[in-house]
Amino acid sequence: MSSETPGPGQDTGQGSGPDPGQAGADGTGQGTGRPGGHERHGAHGRVRSGGERWEAFKKSPFLPATVLVFILAAAAGLFAGSYTYTMANPTPHHIPTAVVGDPATPQLKLFVAGLDKALPGSLKVTRYDSQAQARGAIEEQQVFAVLSGDGRKVRMDLTGASGASVAQLFAEAGAKVGKAAGVSVEIKDVKPLQKGDPRGLALFYISLAAVIIGFVGAIQLSVHARGLNPVERICFHIAYSLLGAFAIAAVVDWLLGALDLPFVQSWLILALTMFTSGMVFTMFNTLLGRWAMIPTWGLMVLLGNPSSGGAVSWPLLPSLLGHIGQWLPPGASVNAQHTAVYFQGHQHLRPYLVLAGWALLSCAVFWFWRHRHPGGRDKAPAHAGRGTSPADAPAGM
């Protein structure tokens, strides 16, 4: 077989690039004789408009990262502000107080008037006929102190278990008022806190742990166990809530001895709190997707924990927060735990109903709109006769 040398104008069969000798003087490799030789070629080289740049930014990870920078900055300020506003300088607003006997008794009348002046506008006095009735009001957590007089001195019965901050306020104010009025005052804590928890904060801490771990657990499930279907997801919420609550109660009671808990009851309260907190995040994750942490943090941490009455008793909180806090999961958890530990036999139904109501609402929203939740997996079998590539597989719920 003979080979031929291609003549002028014949195709060599090789790619024909621009003649190096005709490269532009600027080194771009483009001929200077072509129209527009100095312009960029192709879509990648074209200068994008402002609208196109914005669209590309919205589709990039830089948009959510930028938004998170501002959200985290705002959350930091709000976190510090909410706790400082409610806890740094507690002020009495509404303190139910029992008076036993005749309030017209000179010493008792003088002392009550002085105490009301020392706690301006906050003393809400209710008269009881006997000490037994007043003690029953203490057990029902209807009053924070009982005042009585026998003609020689005034007796002030406090209940530290109802609120250490309120009891301390009463004790300090009562001693000053008695001294100023020349009235002999006997102050006694008839319902003290346990020795391992002299400030009454342990119940707040264990409830706070249940709240935080509850929604953090839900976040971790959404990240690391994304493929869980709705029933499976709820079951795993129950599992980590029961085990986590058991760990909290065991450490505080058995290991540290800080509290003598009614173990099973406290364990189940903590478990219900943790489950409710986790499902609240799951509800918001269903409704808002990746931004679910914002309302969860706002509801449970910024608003719920400071207004729970755990660190500062509700009579010393701003009035509105004191009322709102009792209807949020953190406040309900603290109230239920507080009554279980210190006022056994005088249980209130409302805290349990509040926790159960939030849990049921969250589960119902998640279940009803479960197709919107960014998790789950497809159970439909692949079509016979052809495989499915990852690109063909439908996205999970």
220: number of Cβ within 10 Å: 13
pLDDT given at position 42? 54
pLDDT given at position 369? 95
pLDDT over threshold 90, residue 171? yes
pLDDT over threshold 70, residue 65? yes
Give DSSP secondary structure letters for 10-57. ---SS-----GGG--TTSSS--TTSTTTTS--STTTSPPPHHHHHHHH
* pLDDT band, very low/low/confident/very high, at 62 (cuts 50, 70, 90): confident
Helix or strand or coil: residue 105?
Answer: coil
Tens of pLDDT along 104-118?
788 888 898 899 888
Average pLDDT of 39-49?
A: 64
pLDDT greater at residue 37 or residue 372: 372
Give burial (CB, 10 Å; 0-12/13-18/19+) of 77. exposed
Using CA atoms, how far residue 288 sits from 234, 298, 304, in Å, is 19, 14, 20
* pLDDT band, very low/low/confident/very high, at 41 (cuts 50, 70, 90): low
As a dihedral over the C-alpha atoms of residue 51, residue 52, residue 53, residue 57, rounded to 10 degrees, the angle is 100
H/E element holding 302? none
Q: At what angle do helices 50-59 and 62-83 cross, to 10 degrees?
A: 60
Strands 95-100 and 145-149: parallel
H-helix segments, the chain: 50-59, 62-83, 106-118, 131-139, 164-181, 202-224, 230-249, 263-288, 293-297, 319-325, 329-342, 350-368
pLDDT over threshold 70, residue 394? no
pLDDT over threshold 50, residue 7? no
H/E element holding 252? none
pLDDT given at position 232? 95
Tens of pLDDT along 360-382?
999 999 999 999 998 887 654 44
Furthest-apart CA atoms within the chain: distance in Å? 137
* pLDDT band, very low/low/confident/very high, at 68 (cuts 50, 70, 90): confident
Report the alpha-carbon distance of residue 377 to residue 230 in Å, rounded: 10
Report the alpha-carbon distance of residue 105 to residue 198 in Å, rounded: 35
pLDDT over threshold 60, residue 326? yes
pLDDT given at position 44? 57
H/E element holding 347? none
